[in-house]
Structure 1
Amino acid sequence: MILLVPADPLRPRRPDEHFAPEAAAARAAGLDVAVVDHDAVARGGDVRRAVASVSGSGAAIYRGWMLSGGRYTALAEALAARGVVLRTSAEQYRRAHELPGWYAALESVTPPSAWTVGPARTDFDRARAQLGTGPAVLRDYTKSMKHYWDEAAFIPDLCDGEFAWKVATRFLELREDDFAGGFVLRRFEQFTSAEVRTWWVDGVCILVGPHPDTPDDAPPVEVDLTSVVPLIAGLGLPFVTVDLALRTDGVWRVIELGDGQVSDRPASVEPQAMIAALLPGSP
Structure 2
Amino acid sequence: MRFIFPSDYFKPKRVDSAYAEQFALLGDRGCANSLISLENLSLDSSTIYPEPNPGEQLIYRGWMLAPDDYSLLVNAVKNAGAEMWIDRDEYLRTHYLPNWYPLLHDLTPETYFFDVDDRLEAKLTELGWSQFFIKDYVKSLKTSTGSIINSPSAINSLVGEMQKFRGTIEGGICVRKVEDFITETERRYFVINGRVFAASPDLEIPAIVTECSRRIDSKFFSVDTIDRRDGVTRIVEIGDGQVSGLVGWTVDRFADLWTELTIDNIK
TM-score (norm 1): 0.83
1:40 matched to 2:3? The reply is no
Task: Name the CA shift for 1:239/1:224 in 2 (closer, same or farther; >3 Å).
Answer: closer
The residue aligned with 2:16 is 16
5 Å-filtered alignment, 1:73-222, equals 73-117=71-115, 119-122=116-119, 124-125=120-121, 127-129=123-125, 131-148=127-144, 151-157=145-151, 161-177=152-168, 179-194=169-184, 195-208=186-199
Q: Which amino acid aligns with 1:165?
A: N
The residue aligned with 2:206 is 225
State the SS of the aligned residue for 1:49. coil
Task: Determine if contact 1:4/1:61 at 8 Å carries over to the other structure.
Answer: yes
Whole-Å Cα distance in 1 between the matches of residues 86 and 53 of structure 2?
Answer: 18
Task: Name the CA shift for 1:52/1:227 in 2 (closer, same or farther; >3 Å).
Answer: closer
Q: Which amino acid aligns with 1:268?
A: T
Q: Deviations over 1:209-246 (max 9, x none)?
A: 6xxxxxxxxxxxx6662133233322220111111111
Deviation (angstroms), 1:199: 0.8
Q: Any unmatched runs of 5+ in structure 1?
A: 210-221
Q: Deviations over 1:93-141 (max 9, x none)?
A: 0111110110011111111001113x1142x346425644220110000
Q: Which amino acid aligns with 1:29?
A: R
TM-score (norm 2): 0.88
Q: Which amino acid aligns with 2:148?
A: F
1:272 matched to 2:255? The reply is yes
The residue aligned with 1:212 is none
Whole-Å Cα distance in 1 between the matches of residues 106 and 3 of structure 2?
Answer: 35
Task: Determine if contact 2:196/2:213 at 8 Å carries over to the other structure.
Answer: no
Aligned residues: 259
Task: Name the CA shift for 1:85/1:126 in 2 (closer, same or farther; >3 Å).
Answer: farther
Cα root mean square deviation, aligned: 2.2
Q: Which amino acid aligns with 2:53?
A: G
Task: Determine if contact 1:199/1:206 at 8 Å carries over to the other structure.
Answer: yes
Deviation (angstroms), 1:276: 2.4
Deviation (angstroms), 1:50: 1.6
Task: Name the CA shift for 1:229/1:127 in 2 (closer, same or farther; >3 Å).
Answer: farther
